[in-house]
């Protein structure tokens, strides 16, 4: 999932016309770009790939605006829209790259890969007659995806079987759920893990999880928004609406005057959930996740635990271009109910510094607001938790985690292939 927050009212709109002066300025820029391209083509020592040149030029232009405005080529835009729709068309397997090869991790139930019997540790050695040697995980994924009803042939190398296995699979819809899991922790505490972003089905998934947990005796909730990169703002509004009373503000949006008018979004729930709520956030919680966390905190509806969040509160509006590509531009800012700006300052930082220092409040607080009960909360640097719990992983431990993963992967790989003796006799 790409970490973008969208305002649905602007989705897919076309660029607007500008004044004659603006048009003349753009014409001069286009002439300069064309002249530079000709010089490069005629004098560069190697071959010039103008598709790459154009894409890099647009990307560079957008990075002078802010860290989140981006350009998608046609294929990237189609993939992004599939991600936002909570489903895509493929064989239905989670894949992972390990030691230069791409493996099946888990087939999704009721998909082509599950029906074919693909399993953990299967090495994808070929696709449609091409060897995957040297391919990245992204390259394998792009070949496995395709229109619904089309077929893809894959060659599987399975541990313990000498000859490769050949499968011809029909691509079909594969769900991309937002809720990773939910369960009762004990003592009436329910837990919902919402780490996979806000997609078209997020509200329905959360509502279903809460309903089932209530039936199991839930009297309080832990809502886990850690590492949730955001997504569709209307889904964040609907999730917030589950816990807020009618008339309580969820967020406001302030755009460029005369272009994108300011808006307020208010809850309309007459019978919201009333049990205590704790929301978990970390430095990777962004955009739509911060909208939910900020709304519940400002109305004293939940206590936030964890780290300061990422600090991305930009209205991201897509503008589709004539060739099927798209620009995603910042057209406004989001504010919490108390008036806190979610977005952290990026004016004095490079693109890379901004993205590396996630959850950094950029120094002292400059914007103090109050919750409904009068508690001080601060804006302009993400969402501060009420109870700070920092997670710091030393570099040696990161290396240990990598070694541990390699060991676990190889053990599970051999175990599923039946190559570890005596497992059937092992009892707990």
Please tell me the predicted confidence (pLDDT) of residue 239: 98
- Backbone φ and ψ of 346, nearest 5°: -125, 5
Domain count, the chain: 2
Q: Are residues 72 and 1 in the same domain?
A: yes
Q: Are residues 15 and 65 in the same domain?
A: yes
Q: Are 325 and 77 in contact (CB under 8 A)?
A: yes
The residue among 150, 175, 200 that closes a domain is 175
Domain annotation covers residue 411: no
The residue among 175, 198, 227 that closes a domain is 175
- Backbone φ and ψ of 143, nearest 5°: -75, -30
Q: Are residues 270 and 226 in the same domain?
A: yes
Mean pLDDT of 383-411: 67
Q: Are residues 64 and 171 in the same domain?
A: no
Q: Where are the beta strands (DSSP E) in 128-241?
A: 130-131, 151-157, 165-170, 172-175, 181-186, 189-193, 220-224
Distance separating alpha carbons of residues 397 and 16, to the nearest angstrom: 52
Q: Are 407 and 415 in contact (CB under 8 A)?
A: no
Please tell me the predicted confidence (pLDDT) of residue 160: 84
Q: Are residues 294 and 351 in the same domain?
A: yes
Cβ neighbour number for residue 70 with a 10 Å cutoff: 21
Please tell me the predicted confidence (pLDDT) of residue 1: 35
Domain holding 112: CATH number? 2.30.42.10
Distance separating alpha carbons of residues 203 and 311, to the nearest angstrom: 23
Q: Are 20 and 247 in contact (CB under 8 A)?
A: no
Q: Are 380 and 335 in contact (CB under 8 A)?
A: no
Q: Are 279 and 296 in contact (CB under 8 A)?
A: yes
Mean pLDDT of 180-192: 94
pLDDT tens sequence across 241-284: 999 999 999 999 998 887 788 899 999 999 999 999 999 999 99
Q: Are residues 155 and 182 in the same domain?
A: no
* 202: enclosing H helix or E strand: helix 202-215
pLDDT tens sequence across 92-109: 998 988 888 999 988 888
- Backbone φ and ψ of 233, nearest 5°: -70, -35
Domain holding 41: CATH number? 3.90.226.10
Which ranges in 44-158 belong to alpha helices (H)? Answer: 50-63, 74-84, 112-116, 137-144
SS3 content of the chain, % helix, strand, coil (to 5): 30, 25, 45
Catalytically active residues are 287, 298, 312
Structural domain that includes position 118? 89-175
* 192: enclosing H helix or E strand: strand 189-193
The residue among 147, 175, 203 that closes a domain is 175
Checking if the pLDDT of 19 tops 80, the result is no
Please tell me the predicted confidence (pLDDT) of residue 193: 96
pLDDT tens sequence across 284-316: 999 999 999 999 999 999 999 999 999 999 988
Closest CA to 233 of 359, 339, 318: 318
Checking if the pLDDT of 364 tops 50, the result is no
Please tell me the predicted confidence (pLDDT) of residue 358: 56
Please tell me the predicted confidence (pLDDT) of residue 351: 61
Domain annotation covers residue 397: no
Mean pLDDT of 166-195: 93
């Amino acid at each position: 999932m790409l970490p973008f927050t969208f305002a649905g009212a602007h989705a897919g709109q076309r660029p607007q016309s500008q004044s004659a002066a603006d048009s003349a300025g753009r014409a001069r820029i286009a002439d300069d770009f064309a002249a530079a391209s000709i010089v490069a083509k005629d004098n560069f020592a190697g071959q010039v790939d103008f598709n790459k040149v154009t894409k890099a030029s647009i990307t560079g232009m957008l990075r002078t605006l802010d860290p989140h405005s981006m350009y998608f080529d046609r294929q990237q835009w189609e993939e992004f829209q599939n991600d936002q729709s909570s489903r895509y068309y493929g064989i239905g397997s989670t894949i992972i790259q390990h030691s230069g090869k791409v493996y099946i991790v888990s087939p999704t139930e009721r998909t082509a890969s599950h029906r074919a019997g693909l399993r953990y540790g299967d090495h994808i050695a070929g696709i449609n007659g091409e060897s995957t040697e040297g391919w990245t995980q992204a390259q394998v994924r792009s070949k496995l995806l395709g229109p619904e009803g089309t077929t893809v042939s894959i060659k599987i190398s399975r541990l313990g079987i000498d000859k490769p296995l050949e499968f011809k699979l029909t691509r079909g819809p594969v769900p991309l759920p937002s809720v990773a899991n939910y369960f009762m922790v004990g003592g009436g505490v329910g837990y919902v893990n919402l780490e996979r972003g806000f997609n078209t089905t997020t509200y329905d998934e959360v509502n279903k999880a809460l309903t089932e947990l209530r039936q199991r005796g839930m009297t309080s909730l832990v809502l886990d928004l850690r590492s949730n990169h955001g997504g569709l703002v209307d889904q964040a509004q609907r999730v917030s609406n589950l816990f807020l009373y009618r008339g309580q503000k969820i967020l406001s949006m302030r755009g460029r005057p005369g272009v994108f008018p300011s808006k307020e979004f208010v809850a309309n729930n007459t019978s919201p959930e009333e049990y205590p709520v704790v929301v978990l956030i970390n430095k990777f919680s962004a955009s739509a996740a911060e909208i939910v966390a900020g709304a519940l905190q400002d109305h004293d509806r939940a206590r936030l635990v964890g780290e300061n969040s990422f600090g991305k509160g930009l209205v991201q509006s897509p503008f589709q271009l004539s060739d099927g590509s798209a620009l995603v531009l910042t057209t406004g800012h989001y504010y919490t109910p108390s008036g806190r700006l979610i977005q952290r300052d990026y004016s004095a930082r490079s693109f890379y510094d901004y993205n590396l220092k996630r959850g950094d409040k950029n120094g002292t607080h400059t914007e103090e607001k109050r919750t409904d009960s009068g508690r001080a909360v601060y804006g302009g640097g993400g969402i501060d938790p009420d109870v700070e719990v920092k997670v710091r992983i030393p570099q040696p431990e990161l290396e240990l985690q990598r070694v541990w993963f390699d060991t676990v992967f190889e053990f599970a790989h051999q175990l599923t292939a039946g190559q570890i003796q005596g497992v059937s006799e092992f009892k707990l």
